Amino acid sequence: DTSYTYQLLNKGDGEEAAAPIVKPTATPKVSVQEAETVYDFCWYPFSYSSMPGSSVFICSTRDHPIHLWDAESCSLRATYRAYDHNDEISSAFSVAFSPDGQRIYGGYNGMIRMFDISVPGRDCTNYTTVTQKGNIRFIPRNMQLKGIVSSFSFTPDGTILAAGSYGGNVGLYDSAGGLEPIAMLYDAHPNGVSQVLFSADGNHLYTGGRKDDFIHCWDIRNTMQVVFSIPRPVSNNQRVAFSIDHTGRYLTSGLQDGRVQIFDLYSQGTSVSCDSAHDDVVNAASFHPFMHLLATSSGQRHFDSESSDSSDEESDNAMAQQRDYAVAIWKASIPIQS
Q: pLDDT tens for residues 170-187?
A: 999 999 888 999 999 999
Q: Is the pLDDT of residue 278 over 80?
A: yes
For the stretch 283-320, pLDDT in tens is 999 999 888 889 999 988 887 665 545 455 554 544 44
Flag the least confident range among 129-143, 216-230, 277-291, 316-330.
Answer: 316-330
d(CA 338, CA 290): 18
Residue 333 pLDDT: 66
- The answer to pTM > 0.95 is no
> Got the DSSP string for 212-238?
-SEEEEEETTSTT-EEEEEE----SS-
**Averaged over 257-264, what is the pLDDT?**
93
For residue 314, give the H/E element and its range: helix 313-322
d(CA 105, CA 3): 20
Q: Compute the residue count for the chain.
A: 338
Per-chain mean pLDDT for the chain: 86
Q: Is the peptide bond before 231 cis (omega within 30 degrees of 0)?
A: no
Q: Is the pLDDT of residue 327 over 60?
A: yes
Closest to 4 (Cα-Cα) out of 260, 241, 326, 242: 326
Residue 15 pLDDT: 37
Residue 12 pLDDT: 36
Residue 178 pLDDT: 87
Flag the least confident range among 112-126, 209-223, 255-269, 317-331.
Answer: 317-331
With the C-alpha atoms ordered 318, 321, 324, 330, is the resulting torsion angle positive or negative? negative
* Residue 152 pLDDT level (bands cut at 50, 70, 90): very high
For the stretch 67-106, pLDDT in tens is 999 988 889 999 999 998 889 999 999 999 999 999 999 9
Of 27-41, 205-219, 316-330, highest mean pLDDT: 205-219
